[in-house]
């Protein structure tokens, strides 16, 4: 019988990863599929692991060939596949259990040529939004097309898609025998498709190997960079006769990503390979339009010129400032000639700039407002918001002016602002810090249950005036912002938007939780429901699956409700929705609207059946019930010995017979770990001397702090980041100054961190 879906999985020497990948496929909720495993000449134990999966599950089939590369291996898999639909999975990545069911279901409903979904990056310690996919898959768009939404033209990966097999065969797609083989095939498919389904839900987890040996991580190799140029030129061929807006999007993307990688590559290669790469890159750069190249970054015009001219001195100078992280520290300088306005010249490129002034000239677009939101707290009668606001590349000093207004209901209302020195995006302390006070009386004027309000900052630095919304909601407290009652009936909830804006939403008499308990295999939830609220439901966050009325036993009296949820209906039998964290999350809703966790100050947690069950809150303050692995949970951060010791405390839940260490986010080896002293008495406390973190922190890159995260290193199983209680994350961070360094202890949604500047 013909399977519904064919899954092609090529592999080569991935014994450390493939079992986890194949297990994520075996657990798919869509069970009518075949997996074509293509052994591309592996020399380690990967083939034996694949054979074992084939022995245990008849849906898995193995094809063996001599090593030819990822593209040809995918082509082999296609030839051996039989499904109505076809998809591709890289052998070190993971697929969430509902992904194929959602993608195929969407195609059945729309008849589109293929479906594409969001993706997340992950490593041994957690997952995060893929920068590129977050921009493209910000919302679901069914039956759309690249001509309607041109950002699809820069979706360059093939593995986050399910193709209709008839569509694939009609156009005879084949992957070229090079690295970066995805983009030419993917872009052509977008151009050929009748319609495409775009899903905002993450349907693919893209591994960032801690070993650093994946194709996309091995950038400083001549063969790798040569193939990148070949792939990019194939893409340029495809858009040569496409509409100008499609061509512009692709050219700008290649200039933003590939062109920068080539510039950095010149500095990392030997002199001989650098010359060879510059020769190849010259032809590629000549095909990139000057306009998109100049718009790709403040130095885009310079990079484009250096590649087009084959100027090795300039390329190496650019590579040096990128490798050292110095580009972000360069300030714009006013030339004194009105039509030139500002130039951006790194110190090591002053010689090149003397005879090429126009190359370094900044456009008005390059001088833009960049803002951050660092902390949100409630005063007696106002919401207090702290962060930074600056005009990128300019030094913000005492002559500058900052105005912040609340934008609500089509009206702008000025708010009170205080300013203070803080670290700017160049790594310097300047007058970029702000504290905005938004009174409750002003917040009460936001239209209830309508579009949320925003805040807009306008900065004037001498002759330059720019404006932008408050965005770049930071990790920690702003990503899990605390809400508050602004009068007897209205609740104001700050929200981080998908595009990282800060939103303010007012709700009148919202459905809310007053207490929660876990006992005897039942989660008991009590709260208040307004008369207009709909029926209570627990909705699986990943898949929008709802528990039935039978499983939620609801009693409502005079607006008060008690809901009893048997845990047997929640626990997924060790088959979690999130393949990285091992967690499944359910949202408590009333008529499709969130029930707010106003009655909780800490998560209600219990170990049940070897799993950790929590009643907690999400970023929008909705009540969530989470099932996950048993791991220590941090619910308190603090300082000891004055400010010389940082402490993290919480529930251990099990015997903590393994070390807890602080590890740099950028460290893949753990060689620079700083061990904690750990005490356990039901609760655990991990303490570390501040000076040890400072001693191991870098000050070479001024624009980026050294970030440490608290890691558990069990003897068996993978390392994990210690997760904070969501309500701890909602509290403000702790900032201290020690030995001329600034340290910020900041709980994220999925880990506890210390940032050292």
Judge contact between 262 and 277, C-beta under 8 A. Answer: yes
First-to-last C-alpha distance (Å) of the chain: 62
555-570 average pLDDT score: 82
Claim to verify: residue 64 and residue 106 sit in the same structural domain: yes
Q: Which domain holds residue 548?
A: 512-628
Which of 65-79, 539-553, 590-604 has the weakest average pLDDT? 539-553
Residue 271 has pLDDT above 60, yes or no: yes
The predicted pLDDT at position 366 comes to: 84
pLDDT digits (tens, 9 = 90+) for 641-692: 888 999 999 999 988 889 999 999 878 788 899 999 999 988 999 999 999 9
Rounded-to-integer distance, Cα 351 and Cα 314, Å: 10
The predicted pLDDT at position 218 comes to: 52
Residue 518's beta-bridge partner residues? 523
Residue 574 has pLDDT above 70, yes or no: no
251 against 322, higher pLDDT: 251
Claim to verify: residue 624 and residue 658 sit in the same structural domain: no
Claim to verify: residue 340 and residue 426 sit in the same structural domain: no
Residue 339 has pLDDT above 60, yes or no: no
Q: Tell me the two tokens of residue 245.
A: 């807006």
- Look at residue 665 and tell me if it is in a domain: yes
Domain stops at, among 348, 366, 384: 366
Residue 497 has pLDDT above 70, yes or no: yes
Rounded-to-integer distance, Cα 631 and Cα 724, Å: 11
Claim to verify: residue 606 and residue 671 sit in the same structural domain: no
- Look at residue 531 and tell me if it is in a domain: yes
* Mean of the per-residue pLDDT values of the chain: 91
Rounded-to-integer distance, Cα 18 and Cα 231, Å: 27
Alpha carbon distances (Å) from 754 to 462, 646, 713, 757:
36, 9, 18, 10
Domain stops at, among 628, 650, 676: 628
The predicted pLDDT at position 347 comes to: 82
Claim to verify: residue 13 and residue 24 sit in the same structural domain: yes
- Look at residue 215 and tell me if it is in a domain: no
pLDDT digits (tens, 9 = 90+) for 177-215: 999 999 999 999 999 999 999 999 999 999 987 654 544
Up-side HSE of residue 472: CA atoms within 13 Å toward CB? 13
The predicted pLDDT at position 553 comes to: 72
- Look at residue 214 and tell me if it is in a domain: no
Rounded-to-integer distance, Cα 260 and Cα 249, Å: 16
Rounded-to-integer distance, Cα 7 and Cα 103, Å: 13
Rounded-to-integer distance, Cα 482 and Cα 118, Å: 28
The predicted pLDDT at position 217 comes to: 47
Q: Tell me the two tokens of residue 502.
A: 């800060």
| pLDDT tier for residue 417 given thresholds of 50, 70 and 90 | very high
Claim to verify: residue 582 and residue 604 sit in the same structural domain: yes
- Look at residue 217 and tell me if it is in a domain: no
Claim to verify: residue 360 and residue 380 sit in the same structural domain: no
Claim to verify: residue 358 and residue 379 sit in the same structural domain: no
The two beta strands, 33-40 and 60-65, are parallel
Claim to verify: residue 347 and residue 461 sit in the same structural domain: no
Q: Which CATH number goes with the domain that contains 192?
A: 3.90.550.10
Claim to verify: residue 302 and residue 270 sit in the same structural domain: yes
pLDDT digits (tens, 9 = 90+) for 354-395: 777 788 888 878 889 999 999 999 998 999 999 999 999 999
| pLDDT tier for residue 340 given thresholds of 50, 70 and 90 | low
Q: Which CATH number goes with the domain that contains 641?
A: 2.60.40
- Look at residue 648 and tell me if it is in a domain: yes
26: left (phi over 0), alpha (psi -120 to 50) or beta: alpha
pLDDT digits (tens, 9 = 90+) for 447-460: 997 899 999 999 99
Claim to verify: residue 359 and residue 385 sit in the same structural domain: no
The predicted pLDDT at position 164 comes to: 98
Judge contact between 116 and 198, C-beta under 8 A. Answer: yes
pLDDT digits (tens, 9 = 90+) for 708-750: 999 999 988 788 999 999 999 999 899 999 988 999 999 988 8
Residue 486 has pLDDT above 80, yes or no: yes
Rounded-to-integer distance, Cα 215 and Cα 208, Å: 10
Q: Tell me the two tokens of residue 41.
A: 């000449």
Judge contact between 410 and 446, C-beta under 8 A. Answer: no
pLDDT digits (tens, 9 = 90+) for 113-147: 999 999 999 988 888 888 889 889 989 999 999 99
Judge contact between 733 and 477, C-beta under 8 A. Answer: yes
**φ and ψ at 576, to 5 degrees?**
-70, 160
478-495 average pLDDT score: 95
The predicted pLDDT at position 322 comes to: 79
Say what the pTM is. 0.91
Which of 12-21, 149-158, 259-268, 515-524 has the weakest average pLDDT? 259-268
Alpha carbon distances (Å) from 675 to 686, 687, 692, 708:
9, 9, 9, 12
Which of 2-11, 180-189, 300-309, 413-422 has the weakest average pLDDT? 300-309
Domain stops at, among 346, 366, 386: 366
42 against 268, higher pLDDT: 42
Residue 324 has pLDDT above 70, yes or no: no
Claim to verify: residue 65 and residue 140 sit in the same structural domain: yes
Residue 651's beta-bridge partner residues? 633, 683
Judge contact between 485 and 569, C-beta under 8 A. Answer: no
Of the candidates 367, 623, 658, 663, the residue with the CA atom closest to the CA atom of residue 514: 623
DSSP string, 174-187: ---SSSS-HHHHHH
**φ and ψ at 486, to 5 degrees?**
-105, -15
Q: Tell me the two tokens of residue 241.
A: 């006769």
What is the percent of the chain with per-residue pLDDT over 70, rounded to a whole number? 95
Of the candidates 673, 665, 713, 721, the residue with the CA atom closest to the CA atom of residue 695: 673
- Look at residue 213 and tell me if it is in a domain: no
- Look at residue 212 and tell me if it is in a domain: no
339-365 average pLDDT score: 79
Look at the chain and report how many structural domains it folds into.
5
Using only C-alpha atoms, the chain has a radius of gyration, in whole angstroms, of: 27
């Amino acid at each position: 019988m013909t399977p519904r879906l064919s899954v092609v999985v090529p592999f080569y020497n991935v014994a450390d990863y493939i079992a986890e990948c194949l297990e994520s496929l075996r657990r798919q909720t869509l069970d009518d599929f075949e997996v074509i495993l293509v052994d591309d000449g592996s020399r380690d134990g990967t083939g034996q692991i694949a054979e074992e999966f084939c022995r245990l599950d008849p849906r898995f089939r193995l094809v063996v060939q001599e090593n030819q590369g990822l593209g040809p291996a995918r082509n082999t898999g296609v030839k051996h596949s039989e499904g109505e639909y076809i998809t591709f999975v890289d052998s070190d990545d993971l697929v969430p259990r509902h992904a194929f069911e959602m993608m195929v279901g969407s195609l059945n409903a729309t008849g589109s040529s293929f479906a594409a979904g969001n993706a997340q990056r992950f490593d041994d310690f957690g997952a995060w939004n893929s920068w590129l996919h977050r921009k493209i898959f910000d919302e679901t768009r069914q039956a759309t097309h690249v001509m309607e939404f041109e950002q699809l033209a820069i979706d360059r990966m093939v593995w986050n898609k399910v193709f209709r097999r008839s569509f694939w065969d009609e156009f005879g797609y084949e992957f070229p025998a090079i690295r970066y083989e995805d983009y030419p095939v993917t872009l052509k498919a977008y151009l050929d498709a009748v319609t495409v389904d775009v899903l905002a839900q993450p349907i693919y987890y893209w591994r960032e190997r801690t070993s650093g040996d994946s194709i996309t991580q091995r950038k400083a190799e001549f063969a790798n960079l040569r193939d990148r140029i070949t792939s990019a030129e194939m893409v340029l061929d495809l858009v040569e006769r496409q509409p100008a807006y499609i061509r512009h999007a692709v050219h700008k993307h290649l200039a933003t990503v590939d062109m920068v990688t080539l510039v950095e590559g010149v500095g990392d290669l030997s002199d001989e390979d650098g010359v060879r790469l510059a020769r190849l890159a010259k032809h590629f750069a000549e095909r990139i339009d000057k306009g998109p190249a100049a718009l790709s970054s403040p130095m885009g015009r310079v990079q484009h010129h250096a590649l087009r001219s084959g100027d090795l001195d300039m390329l190496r100078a650019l590579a040096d400032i990128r490798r050292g992280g110095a580009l972000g520290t360069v300030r714009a300088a006013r030339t004194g000639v009105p039509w030139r306005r500002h130039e951006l010249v790194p110190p090591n490129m002053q010689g090149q700039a003397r005879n090429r002034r126009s190359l370094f000239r900044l456009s008005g677009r390059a001088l833009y407002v960049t803002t951050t939101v660092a902390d949100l707290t409630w005063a007696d009668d106002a919401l207090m918001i702290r962060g930074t606001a600056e005009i990128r590349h300019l030094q913000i000093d005492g002559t500058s002016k900052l105005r912040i207004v609340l934008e609500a209901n089509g009206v702008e209302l000025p708010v009170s602002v205080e300013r203070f020195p803080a670290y700017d995006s160049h790594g310097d302390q300047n007058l970029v810090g702000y504290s905005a006070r938004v009174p409750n009386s002003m917040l009460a004027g936001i239209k209830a249950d309508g579009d949320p309000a925003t805040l807009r900052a306008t900065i004037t630095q001498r002759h330059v005036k720019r404006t932008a919304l408050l965005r770049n909601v930071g990790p920690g407290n702003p990503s899990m912002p605390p809400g508050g009652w602004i009068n007897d009936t209205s609740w104001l909830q700050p929200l981080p938007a998908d595009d990282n804006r800060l939103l303010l939403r007012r709700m009148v008499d919202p459905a809310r939780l007053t207490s929660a308990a876990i006992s005897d295999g039942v989660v008991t939830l009590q709260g208040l429901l307004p008369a207009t609220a709909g029926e209570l439901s627990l909705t699986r966050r990943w898949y929008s699956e709802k528990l039935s009325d039978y499983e939620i036993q609801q009693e409502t009296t005079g607006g008060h409700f008690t809901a009893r949820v048997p845990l047997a209906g929640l626990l997924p039998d060790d088959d979690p929705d999130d393949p990285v964290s091992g967690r499944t999350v359910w949202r408590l809703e009333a008529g499709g609207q969130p029930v707010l966790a106003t009655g909780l100050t800490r998560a209600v947690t219990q170990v049940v059946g070897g799993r950790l069950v929590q009643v907690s809150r999400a970023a929008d303050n909705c009540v969530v019930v989470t099932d996950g692995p048993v791991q220590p949970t941090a619910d308190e951060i603090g300082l000891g010995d004055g400010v010389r010791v940082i402490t993290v405390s919480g529930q251990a839940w099990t015997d903590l017979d393994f070390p807890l260490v602080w590890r740099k986010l950028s460290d893949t080896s753990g060689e620079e770990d700083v061990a904690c002293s750990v005490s356990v008495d039901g609760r655990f406390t991990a303490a570390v001397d501040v000076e040890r973190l400072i001693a191991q922190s870098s000050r070479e890159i001024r624009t980026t702090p050294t970030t440490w995260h608290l890691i558990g290193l069990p003897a068996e199983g993978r390392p994990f980041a210690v997760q904070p209680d969501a309500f701890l994350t909602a509290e403000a961070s702790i900032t201290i100054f020690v030995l001329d360094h600034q340290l910020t202890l900041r709980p994220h949604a999925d880990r506890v961190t210390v940032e050292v500047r």
